[in-house]
Amino acid sequence: MICARCDRHLKDDEAEPINMAAATGAGTTIYLCKGYCKSAPRQTTPHSIRH
C-alpha cells in the first residue's frame, strides 16, 4: 500500500483505508497514513517556465 498523500509505502498497521464512493461503478479505496503527513511535491508546470 502507498499513502495517497505522501507516497510512502505503508504496512497494514500504519494505513487508514478511506472508501471513495462513485456515482456509478464500484468506487475505490485509498490509503492514508494514520498520523498527519505532508503532501509529496508534484510538478505542476514545465521546468522551463519556472525560470
Report residue 38 as a C-alpha cell: 505532508
Q: Please report whether residue 27 resides in a domain.
A: yes
Q: What is the pLDDT of residues 7-42, one digit of tens each?
A: 999 999 999 999 988 888 888 999 999 988 888 888
What is the domain extent for residue 7? 1-39
Q: Please report whether residue 14 resides in a domain.
A: yes
The model carries a pTM of 0.69
CA nearest neighbour of 11 among 3, 19, 1, 21: 1
Asked whether 4 and 42 are in contact (CB, 8 A), the reply is no
Asked whether 19 and 27 are in contact (CB, 8 A), the reply is yes
Q: Please report whether residue 51 resides in a domain.
A: no
Residues pairing with 16 in the sheet = 32
pLDDT at 6 over 60: yes
Report residue 42 as a C-alpha cell: 508534484
Give the containing element (helix H, strand E) for 31.
strand 28-33
